[in-house]
Amino acid sequence: MRPKRLVLVSMVLLFFGAPSTAQDRSTGGIKGKVRVETGAPAGVTVVVRQGEREVNRVVTDKGGSFLVQRLPAGMYGLTFRKPGLSVGTVENVEVKAGKTRSLGDRLILTIDEGSIAFIRGSVFNQDGRSVAGAKVELWKIQEDGSPKKIDGRVSNEIGAFVFRLTPDTAKYRITVKHGNAEPVSHDVEIDGAAVYRVALSVPVAPK
C-alpha cells in the first residue's frame, strides 16, 4: 500500500506543478542597463507602467543593470528615477510571451541641475587678467580636518572653471596652481543646491 500512495502523491504534485511552468511561458520580461552622467549607476528606480498605472518596479544593481520579469504580453512604458539626476522615460516597449526584451544601454540619466551645487570660479593674475591653463584641484575637507582630492581640471580660455557637487552640507578647498608660481587656495562651504562663486588671483611665476 505504501508504494502506491507515494506514486499517487508524486502524480498530484506533478499535476499541480504543471500550470506554474505554463504561466512562466505566458509572460515576458524587460532588461537593460542605465548609465549616469555622474556618480554610480546603482540604485536607479525603474518603474514599469501601462499608461499611468504602475505594474512593477525594480532597482538597478551596482553596474546599472536591471531585469523585470513576469510581465504579461503587451505594451509598457518605463520611468527611471534617482535623486540628483533627471527623470528618464522609455515608451512603447513591447513585451512578448516567453521572451525578454532588451533595451541595451542606450539610456543615460543626466544631472538635474536644479538639485545640485555648483562651484564656479575664475582665475586671474595680479594684473586682473584671466589666466587660461591653470591647474585647478577640488579637495573635500574630512571630519578630521584633512583634505581629500576628489576632482581636478584646467581653467578655460577665459580663466573659468566649474565643479558640480551634491547639495549635502560639506566643506571644500579649491587649489589653483599656474606655472612655477606658488599655489593659492580658497575654502568653500556647501549647504544646499546653489551656485557658489570664487575668484582666485595667482602670483606671477618666477623666471
Domain spans in the chain, listed from the N-terminal domain onward: 28-109, 117-201
- Assess whether the region 28-109 and the region 117-201 belong to the same CATH fold: yes
Helical H segments across the chain, by residue range? 2-25
Q: Could you tell me the pTM of the whole model? A: 0.53
CA distance 54 to 48: 6
Specify the DSSP element, H or E, that contains 78.
Answer: strand 74-81
Residue 160 identity (one-letter amino acid): A
Question: Tens of pLDDT along the chain (207 residues)?
Answer: 444 443 333 333 333 333 333 346 889 999 999 999 877 899 999 999 998 899 999 999 999 999 999 999 999 999 999 987 889 999 999 999 999 999 998 889 987 877 788 999 999 998 889 999 999 999 999 999 999 999 999 999 999 999 988 888 999 999 999 988 889 999 999 998 889 999 999 987 655
Determine which helix (DSSP H) or strand (DSSP E) holds 32, and give its type and residue range.
Answer: strand 27-36
Cα torsion 130, 131, 134, 138 to 10°: value is: -20
DSSP 92: E
Residues 107 and 114: their CA atoms lie apart, in Å, by 20
Domain 117-201 grouped into CATH 1.10.10.10: no
Distance (Å, rounded) from C-alpha 185 to C-alpha 174?
5
Grid cell in block for residue 160: 573659468
Q: Give me the architecture of the 28-109 domain, per CATH.
A: Sandwich (2.60)
Sign, Cα dihedral of 76, 102, 70, 17: positive
